[in-house]
Structure 1
């Protein structure tokens, strides 16, 4: 069974420039297999760490600290003829119109024209989840601004990555029910779109909170306060090993979905 880890390229919120925009790379047997989100610094950070563009990308939502690096990624893909049109970009169906408006809805993706933005990628709209390299990844909606605007990513038995969200206990009771490590949005103070420290103890049972790794905070002082409260905290560039995924099949992937 494959060994899985998540390596964070950034752990901060939109204002935490020194911490980098929240983004993680799923490593399989030490090699990158999927990038989660693509903020302005992320393409350069990924190339710095791994020496090449990402092999695949999942988009949680369309705030610019999560998709602002798409233009640079487009240029990298389009001008590399071997990679052009081959980078899978997995996008939740309800997020796709927002993403297109945000990054792709311009008649001249290049100054010379005659190029449609998505021709540089292999766009893959997804609903319940997707297959990648023999693994089924679940996706599910979270609470961030608007219904259907943001999604989490999970690998059964291995991890859940919430993306930006308020607490979602009803979702984690299902998608984190098999010992998964839970990477959860959290800062000291919550707001209508993000989780705060007090929200965790109010919304989640202690046994689940023991599996949390927190990210998307504002600065190192906030990170230290979260640690002092007893939580694990992600750090930039750190690769965090997670449990091996459970055995998977097409039938199991269908049953996994909440009806």
Structure 2
């Protein structure tokens, strides 16, 4: 069995040429879970897999991470074979924000008579969720205000931070083995995002060696991060992962 993380886009909100930051967890070449759905994510997903996502995890509700959900609703609603089937996983604390951002506009269809969430199966979670026999950990990150951004982990395989400042104590808990860590990182940090100076100050050498950086500001920034010795994800990269540990495994 093989596992990969396919980066559909790797750019910060303003870096539209790099694609909206999103990734797909693959098992044996088939998509298991899409992480985030920005304005251009569906096109990139369809180009890669020839179908719409069946499972989607939302890290937070900034529009560069959820801007594709309105379009996904339309595609799903008008396909009776899909209507009501795709699952949207989100931390329970995000549900009010998600409702406000994408689901509460009066008249989701001009003809009326349709509730936004009837197109999907919304699955609120807190500690995590089950999907295809795997337990996915959900953990809080540091992005703008507390309780509005959540990363994702699969023990033994990977952690995906979403947008965040450094979170060394969180990653020590959820990715304390040899997991690959997909981490928000630009050339220069700010109060809501990690910069490379933050990485070098906050993370030890062992953890830094497991980082794959994304959500940077430009191709030139990505090249500069690579030149400093870091692994940098580019749109279309499929990064090999280790097989996840069995659910309930105690890594000690």
1:184 Cα offset (Å): 0.4
Q: Which residue of 2 aligns with 1:73?
A: 72
Give the whole-Å Cα distance in 1 for the aligned partners of 2:140 and 2:60.
10
- In structure 1, the partner of 2:190 is 191
Q: Secondary structure at the match of 2:146?
A: coil
- How far does residue 223 in structure 1 lie from its aligned partner after superposition? 0.4
Task: For residue 58 of structure 1, give the secondary structure of its aligned residue in structure 2.
Answer: strand
- Hey, what's the Cα distance between the residues in 2 that align with 1:48 and 1:176? 31
Matched, 1:239 2:238: yes
Shift of 1:70: 0.6
1:176 aligns with 2:175: yes
Distance in 2 between the 1:137 and 1:120 partners?
A: 24
Corresponding position of 1:63: 62
- Structure 1 partner of 2:109: 110
The two structures, once aligned, show a CA RMSD in angstroms of 1.0
2-side partners of 1:98 and 1:170: how far apart? 26
SS at match of 1:94: helix
Matches within 5 A, 1:216-227: 216-227=215-226
Equivalent runs, 1:81-120 vs 2, <5 Å: 81-120=80-119
Between the aligned partners of 1:88 and 1:163, the Cα distance in structure 2 is: 19
Counterpart-to-counterpart distance in 2, 1:213 and 1:45: 20
CA contact (8 A) 1:107 1:116 kept: no
CA distance, structure 2, for counterparts of residue 215 and residue 11 of structure 1: 5
Q: Please name the residue that 1:153 is paired with.
A: 152
SS in 2 for 1:233: coil
TM-score by length of 2: 0.98
- 1-side partners of 2:205 and 2:95: how far apart? 36
Equivalent-residue separation in structure 1 for 2:98 and 2:38 (angstroms): 13
Q: Is the 8 A contact 1:9 1:42 kept in 2?
A: yes
Match of 1:121 in 2: 120
Deviating beyond 6 angstroms after TM superposition, the runs of 4 or more aligned structure 1 residues are none
Q: CA deviation at 1:178?
A: 1.5
CA displacement at 1:124 relative to structure 2: 0.2
CA distance in 1, matches of 2:18, 2:26: 21
Residue number in structure 2 paired with 1:42: 41
SS in 2 for 1:214: strand
Match of 2:133 in 1: 134
Measured after TM superposition, the shift of residue 107 of structure 1 is 2.6
Q: 1 CA distance for matches of 2:173 and 2:3?
A: 21
Q: Distance in 1 between matches of 2:227 and 2:54?
A: 37
Aligned counterparts of 1:49 and 1:248: Cα–Cα separation in 2: 29
Number of aligned pairs?
A: 251
Q: C-alpha distance in 1, partners of 2:177/2:196?
A: 24
Q: What pairs with 1:193-212 in structure 2 (closer than 5 Å)?
A: 193-212=192-211
In 2, Cα distance between equivalents of 1:37 and 1:63: 10
Matches of 2:170 and 2:89, distance apart in 1: 21
C-alpha separation between the residues in 2 aligned to 1:178 and 1:128? 19
